Structure 1
Amino acid sequence: MRLHVLQHVPFEGPARIGDWAGRRGHALATSHLYAGDPPPALEDFDGLVIMGGPMSVHDEAEHSWLGAEKACIENAIAAGRPLIGVCLGAQLIAQALGAAVTKNAEREIGWFPIELTAEAQAEPCCAGLPARFDALHWHGERFDIPAGALHLARSQACDAQAFLYQGRVLGLQCHLESMPGSVAALCEHCADELSPGPFVQTAGEMCAAPPAAFEQVHAVLEQLLDAVMPSGGPA
């Protein structure tokens, strides 16, 4: 399968998603939208991976490429392509599906528990996943669950943590793709967002996460990716 990454800033790349794609034999290309790369044409990819970023889905005046990216996402959904969006990427997908993206009641930055919904626990793609586990979060906005989508997970600070639409479109508010280096990069480049709050950890706390924390979120991520973007798809 030819996967195409839409990247919004240099320091938020596919991380563990890239490792997973390589092991599954998926080709991986990237449009660095912040650097002027255009989104890919529909015929040039089989699935989209849409990463996070510090901007908002509403910031088209500051980031003119957002308009073309939104059209790419809408076209991919309409064409039946599989998609995964992380944080900003999930918000862009939710907006494309008609859901609102608004300010969250609290900023959620750090390792905090998420729990699967009852609907998710009955969904085959979530079979065997832990009902509750810690994940990395870094967001001040949130998406509503799109109409017709399955609500997969919630946290104390944000009820809408994940959704699945038509079994092929996955939105993740949290960062299951994170690796130690990508967490450190977020802490370096977005340090201005680390003012105290009830759901805001320090950079030291985030970077001190043990290997087991990453292993758990990566196992969850890869099970979901295998369900949404199975090997042996179009090439």
Structure 2
Amino acid sequence: MRVLIVENYDGTGLGQVGAALAEANAEIDLRRPYLGDTLPTDTTGHDALVMFGGGQNALADDAYPYFPDLMKLIRTFTDRQQAVLGICLGSQLIARAFGGENHIGTAREFGWQKVSLAPEAKADAVLGGLPASFPTFQWHDDTFSLPEGAVRLAGNAVAENQAFRVGRATYGFQFHFEADRALVRQWSAKFGDLIAQKRPDWTETMEADAASFGADADERGIAIARAWVAAI
């Protein structure tokens, strides 16, 4: 199994997605197009595509001119029924790739928050085994409308569309299920000044929040990661 991973921003890390891929002995082809790495023009040599988040929005083609090519790649993988996973910015790009609208700055969340599964998630191969509601880590300002034909799988009061599926196994997750407590601590150290603008009290409250919600969020996150890897 060879998986193309597109990193859109420095320091995001693979988190629990990386752990699940390692368990499956997957070969990872990591590309950083924001640093000039080229993207493949088709799916040859790859079994799946993963895209992580970033501080930019999904309409920032001027600053990130590879976005249109990445969306073409999303559609190609999906058309060939190969698995795609997009988290945060990655989910917003999937929505845009299939005709959804991106809404910039309208859905701000940070920290561990609850999401609730939609009824359609009960029969879903990736989310069907999860409880109806669970905590997960959030860090986003934007949201999106669902593309035509997409299956809505989860939401909350801030962002109605927190997870969705297109086709067989193209999944968009607005929430950061990949961010276990270890990765959250890494982000908190690396992006401390940026986080302070959103949550000035984060340094004082992070460990208490991690103790309250982190274990449950980590358990659900690795379950999602393993289930998506199994769908490849």
Regarding TM over 0.5, the answer is yes
The equivalent of 2:21 in structure 1 is 21
- Check if 1:77 corresponds to 2:63: no
Whole-Å Cα distance in 1 between the matches of residues 48 and 166 of structure 2?
14
The equivalent of 2:2 in structure 1 is 2
| 8 Å Cα contact 1:168/1:229 also seen in 2 | no
Structure 1 residues 115-124 or 150-159, which shifts more?
A: 115-124
| 8 Å Cα contact 1:143/1:160 also seen in 2 | yes
Q: Secondary structure at the match of 2:31?
A: strand
The equivalent of 1:184 in structure 2 is 185
Provide TM-score, normalisation by structure 1.
0.86
Shift of 1:49: 0.6
The equivalent of 2:148 in structure 1 is 147
Instruction: Report the residue type matching 2:30 in the other structure.
Output: T
Q: Secondary structure at the match of 2:142?
A: strand
| Count of residues in Structure 1 that have an aligned counterpart in Structure 2 | 230
Shift of 1:157: 1.1
Q: Secondary structure at the match of 2:154?
A: strand
Structure 1 residues 84-93 or 152-161, which shifts more?
A: 152-161
Mark the CA change 1:47 to 1:113 in structure 2 (over 3 Å): closer, same or farther: same
Gaps of 5+ in 1: none
For the aligned residue pairs, the C-alpha RMSD in angstroms reads: 2.4
Task: Kindly report which structure 2 residues correspond to 1:110-121, keeping only aligned pairs within 5 A, or say none.
Answer: 110-121=111-122
Whole-Å Cα distance in 1 between the matches of residues 65 and 50 of structure 2?
20
| 8 Å Cα contact 2:115/2:135 also seen in 1 | yes
**Identity percentage over the alignment?**
24
Whole-Å Cα distance in 2 between the matches of residues 196 and 127 of structure 1?
33
| 8 Å Cα contact 2:2/2:46 also seen in 1 | yes
Q: Secondary structure at the match of 1:43?
A: coil
| 8 Å Cα contact 1:31/1:40 also seen in 2 | no
| 8 Å Cα contact 2:136/2:221 also seen in 1 | no
- Check if 1:31 corresponds to 2:31: yes
Gaps of 5+ in 2: none
The equivalent of 2:216 in structure 1 is 216
Q: Secondary structure at the match of 1:3?
A: strand
Provide TM-score, normalisation by structure 2.
0.87
| 8 Å Cα contact 1:7/1:33 also seen in 2 | yes
Shift of 1:225: 3.9
Runs of 4+ in 1 over 6 A off after TM superposition: none
